[in-house]
Structure 1
Amino acid sequence: MNKSMQFSYLEHVDHELLPTIEILWEISRVFHADSDTYVSAFYQELNALREHPSLQQENEVERLQALCRLFYVHLGFSKAPEPLLSAKRVLVDRAIRLRTGEPLTLAFLLQEAASYHGLVLELIDFPDYPLLRLDYAQSSYFVDPSSGELLHGSQVQERFEDATEDEEQFSWEVLEAAEQKLILVRYLSELKHAFISDRRFADALTTVHMLLTVLPDDPYEIRDRGYILEELDCNHVAVDDYQYFVEQCPDDPSAQLLRLQLENWTQPQTILH
Structure 2
Amino acid sequence: MQFSYLEHVDHELLPTIEILWEVSRVFNSDSDHYVSSFYQQLNGLKDNSELAEKEGSERLRELCKQFYFQFAFSKAPESMLTTKRVLLDRAIRLRTGEPLTLALLLQEAASYHGLVLELIDFPGYPLLRFDYEQCSYFVDPSNGELLLDQQVQERFEDATDEDDEDFSWEMLEAADQKTVIVRYLSELKHALIADRRFADALTTVHMLLAVLPDDPYEIRDRGYILEELDCNHVAVDDYQYFVEQCPDDPSAQLLRLQLENWTTPQTVLH
Scaled by the length of structure 2, what TM-score is found? 0.98
How many angstroms does 1:271 deviate by? 3.9
Structure 2 gaps of 5+ residues are none
> What's the CA shift string for 1:64-88, capped at 9, x where partnerless?
0000010000000000000010010
The equivalent of 2:89 in structure 1 is 93
How many angstroms does 1:150 deviate by? 0.4
> What's the CA shift string for 1:47-99, capped at 9, x where partnerless?
01111011113421001000001000000000000001001000000000000
Residue identity opposite 2:156 in structure 1: F
Matched, 1:41 2:37: yes
Matched, 1:118 2:114: yes
Q: Any residues of structure 2 matched to 1:66-215 within 5 Å, and which? A: 66-166=62-162, 167-215=164-212
How many angstroms does 1:272 deviate by? 5.2
Alpha-carbon separation, structure 2, partners of 1:271 and 1:54:
78
The equivalent of 2:48 in structure 1 is 52
Alpha-carbon separation, structure 2, partners of 1:59 and 1:234:
57
Alpha-carbon separation, structure 1, partners of 2:132 and 2:54:
11
Q: 1:260 aligns with which of 249, 257, 262?
A: 257
Matched, 1:25 2:25: no
Alpha-carbon separation, structure 1, partners of 2:50 and 2:217:
47
Q: 1:236 aligns with which of 233, 237, 247?
A: 233
Alpha-carbon separation, structure 1, partners of 2:16 and 2:131:
20
- What SS does structure 1 have at the residue aligned with 2:46? coil
- What SS does structure 1 have at the residue aligned with 2:114? coil
Alpha-carbon separation, structure 1, partners of 2:253 and 2:190:
23
How many angstroms does 1:195 deviate by? 0.2
Alpha-carbon separation, structure 1, partners of 2:14 and 2:147:
30
Q: 1:224 aligns with which of 215, 218, 221?
A: 221
Q: RMSD of aligned C-alpha atoms?
A: 0.9
> What's the CA shift string for 1:178-203, capped at 9, x where partnerless?
01101111110000000000000000
Alpha-carbon separation, structure 2, partners of 1:34 and 1:79:
23
Count of aligned positions:
269
The equivalent of 1:65 in structure 2 is 61
- What SS does structure 1 have at the residue aligned with 2:122? coil
Alpha-carbon separation, structure 2, partners of 1:113 and 1:106:
10
Q: Is the 8 A contact 1:134 1:141 kept in 2?
A: yes
- What SS does structure 1 have at the residue aligned with 2:258? helix
Structure 1: 4+ residue segments shifted above 6 A: none
The equivalent of 1:246 in structure 2 is 243
> What's the CA shift string for 1:11-51, capped at 9, x where partnerless?
00000110000000000000000000000000000001111
Alpha-carbon separation, structure 2, partners of 1:74 and 1:168:
39
Q: Is the 8 A contact 1:161 1:168 kept in 2?
A: no
